[in-house]
Amino acid sequence: MKLSMPRYDQAPVLVVGDVMLDRYWHGGTSRISPEAPVPVVKVEQIEDRPGGAANVALNIAALGAPALLVGVTGRDEAAHSLADSLHAAGVQAHFQRIDEQPTIVKLRVMSRHQQLLRMDFEEPFNTDAEALAEDVDGLLAGVKVLVLSDYGKGALKNHQALIQLARARGIPVLADPKGKDFSIYRGASLITPNLSEFEAIVGHCQDEAELVAKGARLMNELELGALLVTRGEHGMTLLRPDHPALHLPARAREVFDVTGAGDTVISTLAASIAAGEELPQAVALANLAAGIVVGKLGTAAISAPELRRAVQREEGSERGVVSVEQLLLALEDARAHGEKIVFTNGCFDILHAGHVTYLEQARAQGDRLVLAVNDDASVTRLKGPGRPINAVDRRMAVLAGLGAVDWVVSFAEDTPENLLRQVKPDVLVKGGDYGIDQVVGAEIVRAYGGEVRVLGLVENSSTTAIVEKIRSK
C-alpha cells in the first residue's frame, strides 16, 4: 500500500465529546513516608494537557488540520486551563459550561517518568443535549468529518441526533465508542473500538477468522460503513462490507505509554479522510501515528513532521534513490525542520574522484543534497551514441551510496528545469567554468529568492577522458 502525506491544511474536522484535563505533577522521590509505606514525591513541576475529546482535537490541529471542538466543562480553573491550551494550539473550542459541576480532571503523580498514582475528579455531566446538537449543527457546514469522542462521561447523550445531522449533509461520522450498547452508534461511517471493547459486545474471539465474522455481523446489524478494531501489539483490523479484511501489524518500535493512543488513531483517521484519503490509506497512517505516540510519556499529540518522517521510513524515502513524489515529501519534512536544501545535477556516467569531491563541496553549501541524474535517453542525446556506459539505475545506486548525497532522483528532459520548479532548492550548485548566469535553471531559482553557486572542477578528472583512455587500450 502506497502512502503519502495528505494536505491536512484543507481538512477541517469537528470533534464532539467528553473533554477533560490531564494534569501531571512531576517530582523526585528519595524517601519513604514515615506515615505509610509510600514514596514521598517533592512536586517540582505541574503540567496540564488537554485530554479525552480535547486531545483528539489537539492531535488534529497538530497535524495541521483545522480543528473544531464541542464539549462540556464546569466553570472552574480547569476549564480555563483547557480553553487556554486549546486556543494556543489553534483549536476552535465551544464549551457548554455547567455551574456547580467540576471539569473532569485526571491527576497523575509522576516521578522519574513513572506514574505512581492517578486521581480522577469527575461527576457525570447534566448536559443540555438539544443545545449541544444546535452547536454542532451550526458548525457542520464548515467541516468535512465529524468525530464522536465518547468516554461515557455524559457529554454525548444524543448520538443518533448528531449522526443524522451529519449524514443529512453527507459528512462522514467516526465514533470512538464506549460502553456495552453500540446501537447508539447505528449508521456511523466508522467506529474504532479496541479489542476489549469489541469483545464486550460480540464475545471472545478465538482467532482472526472469528473476529472478522463477528465484526461483519456487527456491521450489518448496526448499518456501519466500516469497523476498525485496534488490537494493541497485534495491530489493527479494518473491516468493510464486501471487502476482504485488512490486517495491519503494530508499528511501535518501543511501547512506553499507551495513554491517548486511541485518540491519536481516530484523530489521524478523521484528518486523513477529511483530506481525501481512501480508508485503507487513512488507517495505515493512523497505525503509523499510534506507533509514534505509544513511545511518548502521557497524553501526547503527533505533529505533522513526526508523521511525515514515519511515512518516509515506510516508503523508503528517508534518503537514497527516490521518485519525485517521495522526494517532495522528504523535502517538506526537511524544510519543516529548518534544513537548507542544495540541488545539483548531471549525467555521472562513470563515477570518479572529481565527482566525489564536487558532491562533497556541494553538500557543504547546505544541510541536504538533492542529486538529479539524467536518464539514459537524455544522456544519449547530450553525449552521443554509446553513452551512457552505465544504465541510470546503476548510476543512481552508486551515487546514493555516497555520504554527501541525501536523495538521488532521475529526470528525462535534457535539463532539470521542470524538476527545479517543483523542488525549489535554497541553493542551486553547478561545477565547471560557468558564469552564474550560464547555469541552467539559474533564473528559476533566483526568481523565488534562491541562490546559485558555481564550484570549481577537480583537474584531470573526466568521464569522457576515462572512456577515451579505455577505448585507446
Whether residue 93 contacts residue 38, with contact meaning beta carbons closer than 8 Å, is answered with no
Closest CA to 98 of 39, 155, 175, 33: 155
Ligand-binding annotation for 194, yes or no, is yes
**Strand 427-431 to strand 190-191: parallel, antiparallel, or no bridges (unpaired)?**
unpaired
Exposure b/e, 398-411, CB count within 10 A at least 16 = b: bbbebebbbbbbbb
Is 149 annotated among the ligand-binding residues?
A: no
20 within 8 A of 103, measured Cβ to Cβ: yes
390 is in an annotated binding site: no
**Whether residue 263 lies in the annotated active site:** yes
The Cα-based distances of 230 to 53, 182, 199, 236 in angstroms read 18, 16, 12, 4
Largest CA distance in the chain: 95
CA distances from 247 to 142, 234, 238, 241, 292 (A): 33, 9, 6, 15, 19
Per-residue exposure over 334-361, b if at least 16 CB sit within 10 Å of its own CB, e if not: beeeeeebbbbbbbbbbbbebbbbbbeb
Could you tell me if 293 and 261 are in contact, meaning their C-beta atoms sit under 8 angstroms apart?
A: yes
Q: In degrees rounded to 5, what are phi and psi of residue 20?
A: -155, 165
Residue by residue, DSSP assigns 180-200 as S-GGGGTT-SEE--BHHHHHH
19-32 and 105-111 beta bridge pairing: parallel
Helical ranges in 338-416 per DSSP H: 353-363, 376-383, 392-400
In the set 263, 375, 376, 426, the catalytic residue is 263
Cell of 188: 456511523
| Residue 238 among known ligand-binding residues | no
Sequence-ordered list of residues with C-beta below 8 angstroms from that of 15, at least 6 positions apart, any chain: 53, 56, 57, 60, 67, 68, 69, 70, 147, 149, 267, 270
Residue pair 178/155 in contact by the 8 Å Cβ criterion: no
Residue written as grid cell 485530554: 51
- Assess contact for 433 and 457: CB atoms under 8 A: yes
Which residues belong to the active site? 263
* Binding-site entries: 194-197
* Binding-site entries for ATP: 194-197
